[in-house]
A and B are shown apart, each in its own frame.
Chain A
Amino acid sequence: MKILSIDDSSVARRTVGLTVEALGYEFLEAASGAEGLALLGKNRDEVTLVLLDWNMPGMDGLEVLQRLKADPDLAGIPVMMVTTEVERDNMVTAVRAGAKHYLTKPYTPEQLAVRILQCLGAGK
């Protein structure tokens, strides 16, 4: 099972990757929305979760989310927004657009791990 992080910050992606790999999942990363959607297209049957930044140059996270949810082949993949956008309106917008969870930065690795497991339905 693979988890994909889409974030323009290399350090942010690698920080996420440490937690993802510690949980035993394979880690994929993309530095832009376009790269992320392309990677998803190639790995659609294996990616179980997308961790998506909001503020990215070019295609922002909300547009990535909208495109992903508009694609019948990708729409079923859960998405968690991982972002500095902590305002309520933005959170509501993302959830209405199809985000399953919303994690705001800063977070600890433990908080990220718990959210990932919740997203993947661990313990059910």
Chain B
Amino acid sequence: MNPQEAFGEAFADVLTQMLGEDAPSRPATPEESQAFRRDLVATMVLEGQAPGLVCLAASEETAREAANRLLGFPAQGPRPEDLRDALAELLNVIAGGAKARLAGTPWHFKLRYPSTSAASADVDSSSSSSSFSSSSSSSLLSPTSFGDLLVWFTLNQPEGCPPP
């Protein structure tokens, strides 16, 4: 299994089991891959032979819907901090799922703790990966539904490992 398949399957699992969406993830379109603007971004550093980064980004509206679904639609609605925490938890589970799928491969990594921030500017996936080697595996995944939730990841290519 390669990183794109691993993150794609992990993302699909999260959509189905945590958010109740029956929608497999798909690679983002070229337009979506150039840059994406979202209100909130959760980020996690990946450590290992192929270090990298994974992000989950969403508009405030999509993050609120995710928090609502995770928390069973609380009467008062989710708190502002719930939106960030929901994204961080979803990212944690996506990264954990991808990690398990890549166990035993050269792409195997360890998780760090997710952090979240308000995205005040466009996230340019091509420039964001500039700190990684030119042979890194990088991809943007988007669901077919459920708002504008996007997963972006990049992993440095392990030594001696052919491109995925």
Name A residues whose Cβ lies closer than 8 Å to a Cβ of B. Answer: 8-12, 14-15, 18, 55, 57, 83-87, 104-108
Contact = CB atoms under 8 A, between A and B. Distances in A.
Contact of B17 (A9, A84, A108): A108
Contacts of A84: 92-93, 95-97, 99, 111
Interface string B55-86: 00000000000010011100000000110011
Say whether chain B's binding surface is mostly helix, strand, loop, or mixed: helix
Contacts of A106: 13-14, 16-18, 93, 97
Contact of A9 (B13, B89, B96): B89
B1 interface: no
Contacts of B89: 9, 11-12
Contacts of A83: 96
A10 B93 contact: no
A105 B95 CA distance: 11
Contact of A87 (B72, B86, B103): B103
Contacts, number: 59
B100 interface: yes
8 contacts: A9-B92, A11-B71, A18-B71, A55-B92, A105-B93, A106-B13, A106-B17, A106-B18
B40 to A, nearest CB: 13
Contacts of B111: 55, 84
The A contact surface, by secondary structure, is: loop
Residue of A10, A11, A105, A107 ringed by the most chain B CB atoms within 10 A: A11
Interface string B98-130: 011001000000010100000000000000000
Nearest to A88: B103
Interface string B39-59: 000000000000000000000
A12 B67 CA distance: 10
B155 interface: no
Interface string B132-157: 00000000000000000000000000
Given A8-B113, A11-B67, A83-B96, 9 more contacts: A10-B81, A11-B71, A15-B71, A15-B72, A84-B99, A86-B99, A106-B13, A106-B93, A106-B97
Contacts of B82: 10-11
A72 B118 CA distance: 46
Most chain-A Cβ atoms within 10 A of its Cβ — which of B71, B72, B96, B111? B96
Contact of B70 (A8, A11, A55, A85): A11
Contacts of A105: 18, 92-93, 96
Contacts of A87: 99-100, 103
